[in-house]
Amino acid sequence: MSRTFVIIRHTFLEAVVQPIYSLLVALGAVIILIFNFLPFFTLGEDTIMFISVALDVILLLVLIATLFATSRSIYEEIEDRTMLTLMSKPVRKWEVLAGKYLGIILSALLAVTILGAILCLCVWWRVPGDYSLQPNSLDDRELRLLAAYRQMHLAGVIPSLLQLWLQICTLAAVGVALSTRFSLVVNLPIVILVYLAGNLTRFLYPIFSDQSVLAGRSIVLKIIAYCVGLLLPTLEAFDLKPLTVYSKIAVRQFSADPNAVHLQTIWTYVALSAAYAVAYVCLALSVGMWLFRRRELGGSEG
């Protein structure tokens, strides 16, 4: 197990010190800070729109940084024969693959934490202006309402960031599996296509669940839709925005709102999606392990 920890630490440090990693994290911080000072003209929902846009920015930039790390840590090490040196040590291939993957997703967690902290600070600062509340008011009711809005939005941002990281972990597993065979030029477009297709799997379920949709159609269509939905990651499972961003959360004054979402509901959903992420990551890494075992470690197979 100590060998795996060494690989995790090395991969984490290797990913963090890459210029593209620092550049994308800095770019994300700048974008979030700029958006923080921009009005969204949404008639009282500027904070909601700001959080939604910021989460999308974090997802995009951290995912790109993660995919660059997956290619460099596996494919390039195979091509420049560094992997041969590593495999000459008393270490198994599954330890290498698992260590590389865990080091990469820890670097993604660090980036999400940094950008998430900036997002939380911006939300804390932005709430009074968006809701026309005075943080220095002498009215206790106004101060309690301000505290409730701040707590409500932050209570939604934190699980949303965790779900975002779980989504990156799922896609990173696909990237790691592909990086045992393909370079970044091939890996990046494929994972992006998987990301797009994974967001479209929600439209497959009516095909094989609604009998009225199947009327007059071949059973083959149902089988194909089921297989595609099974193989592709269901990224809708990691989308908490309808609960955490676009809905009120039952905290403080909003606890009495019958339409408010309880924190227990949100964190139960997070736990279920985490279980799904673990299952899909295990599947993707199993495929990656199968490809890795059949990969020549001396460089290009051609």
Banded model confidence at residue 214, pLDDT cuts 50, 70, 90? very low
Q: Which two tokens stand for residue 103?
A: 């080091």
Q: What is the pTM of this model?
A: 0.87
Segment 1-24 mean pLDDT: 87
Q: Per-residue pLDDT for 302 more than 50?
A: no
What are 27-51's pLDDT values in tens digits? 999 999 999 888 877 777 788 899 9
